[in-house]
Amino acid sequence: MPKSYLPKSYHMLRSAIAAASLATLAVPAFAHHGFGLFQLDIKKEWEGTLTKMNLVNPHSYMELDVTGADGQVMHMRCEMRAATLIRRSGWSVDMFKVGSHVKIEGNPHRDDPTACYIENFTIEGKTMNRNDQLSSGAPVDTSERPARLAAGQLNLNGDWAVEQLVLTVPPSGGNGSMIPKSMSPDFAAGKITMADVQAKQPPRARVAYTAEGDAAAKAFNNRSPEDNPWFACKPTSFIRDWTSDWPINQFRQYTTAEGENVIDITYGLYNFERRIHVGMKEHPANLEPNYAGHSIASWEGDTLVVDTIGFTPGVLTPPTRSSDKLHIVERFSLDPATMALKREYSVTDPVYLAAAYESYDVMYLSDVPFERATCREMTPEFQQNQ
C-alpha cells in the first residue's frame, strides 16, 4: 500500500542529482530525460507483486500489482535505468522473477498515479539502489587482440562504451557522487576531488548560433516527441548518440564482397547503423540525403579521418537543429596502452551555426558485449503522445 515517507535515500537521490548536474559540465550529454514529471519532493513506498520486467532503452520499467487500503489492485509501471546500463552494472534478468514480492522507494509521477521513479527497491529480501554495481570491475582482456588488421590499418574493431559512473562516497561522508569507475577508488580515498574529476573529462562543445539557429533553438520544445527525436525512439545525430545515455557501440572493419574497405558502426542506444567508405576519395554526386549522411574516410598515419555530408534536416543535439548543409569531420585515434578510442569532431552548418561546434569524447572496450536492445518509450507523458 502506498505511503509517504522521508527516508535516508531521499538525501542520496538529491546528492546524486547534484553530482549529475556538476558532471554535465564535463561529461558529454547525460541522461536525456532528466526527471521529467516525477515529483522529487514527494517520497513514497509501494509494495506488490512483480508482473513484468521491461529491460528496454531508453529506460527500463518494472511492472507490479499493488493492493491498496481499499483492497483494490492497482497496476503500476516504475522507471529504472536503461537496459544497456543495467547489463553493464552486472545485473541479470534472473534478478527479476515474475511473481516476486517487491518493495519500492521512490517518487510518484505528477499526472499518472500508476507510475513512479525507482530510487531503491527490495526484491525477495535483497535491497538495491538503482545505481548499484554488481560487476567485478575486472578490466577487459586485450592480450590476444591484434593491434592491426592484415592490411596494416589500426584495429578499431570491437564494442565500445563510455566509462561507467559509480556512486562513490568520499572520506568526508555524505551520500556520494557519480564518479567514473577508474577514478572511484581515489575519490573514495580522498586523493582527488570533484574538481579533479571534472578536469579530466572531455569539455562540452560550445554552440554559437546564426540568427536562424538562435530562433530555432528558442522555439525548440525539448520534451516534445515532435521536436526531440529521442522521445519517439529515433536517433538524433551521431555526434550526440555516440555517447549520450552511455550506449555500447559496435565497430566492424572489413572488406566487402565487392572489394571495398568499409567500417560499419551500430549505435547501441537505438540500434541504427552507419557505413564509412574507407579509401573513397570523393562523395558521389546527387547523394540521397538521409539521417546518417554519406561518410568517406582516409588514414592519416594511425588516425582515421571521416568526412560526412548528405544529411536530411534534423537535430544535432537539443535544442540545436541541423540543416541539409550539415558537414561533420571526425578523427578517430586509439591509445594502445589504455585502449582509449578518442573521437575528435568538428561540425559546421551555415544555416544554424555561426561557428564550428567542436570537442572530443573517449570510449573504451566495453566490459559487456554489444547486444541489440529494444527501444520502447514508456514514460507516461510520452506514451500519451504516441
Ranges in the chain, pLDDT < 70: 1-35, 136-137, 383-386
Alpha-carbon distance values, 134 to 59, 122, 128, 275, 367 (Å): 19, 15, 10, 35, 13
Q: What is the pLDDT of residue 382?
A: 73
| 3-state SS assignment for residue 10 | helix
- Could you tell me which residues are beta bridge partners of residue 303? 300
What is the C-alpha separation between 253 and 148, in angstroms, rounded? 11
Task: Provide the residue ranges of all domains of the chain, joining segments of one domain with +.
Answer: 3-136, 203-365
Provide the pLDDT for residue 35: 64
pLDDT for 24: 40
pLDDT digits (tens, 9 = 90+) for 168-214: 889 998 878 888 888 999 999 999 999 999 999 999 999 999 999 99
Report how far residue 277's alpha carbon sits from residue 119's, in angstroms, rounded to the nearest whole number: 45
Tallying the residues shown for the chain, one arrives at 386
In angstroms, the Cα distances linking 249 to 180, 244, 309, 335 are 19, 11, 21, 18
Superfamily designation of domain 3-136: Nucleic acid-binding proteins (2.40.50.140)
**SS3 assignment for 147-188:** CECCCCCECCCEEEECCCEEEECCCCCCCCEEEEHHHHHHHH
Site of grid cell 562523395: 283
Q: What share of the chain is helix, strand, coil (3-state, %, to 5)?
A: 15, 35, 50
Chain centroid to Cα 44, Å, comes to 27
Sign of CA dihedral 177, 17, 362, 158: positive
Q: How far apart are CA 138 and CA 239, in angstroms?
A: 29
Residue 382: helix, strand or coil by DSSP?
helix
Residue with cell 537539443: 318
Q: Which CATH architecture has domain 203-365?
A: Beta Barrel (2.40)
Pairing of strands 294-300, 272-278: parallel
Closest by CA to 276, choosing from 249, 314, 301, 313, is: 249
Question: What pLDDT, on the 0 to 100 scale, is given for residue 62?
Answer: 95
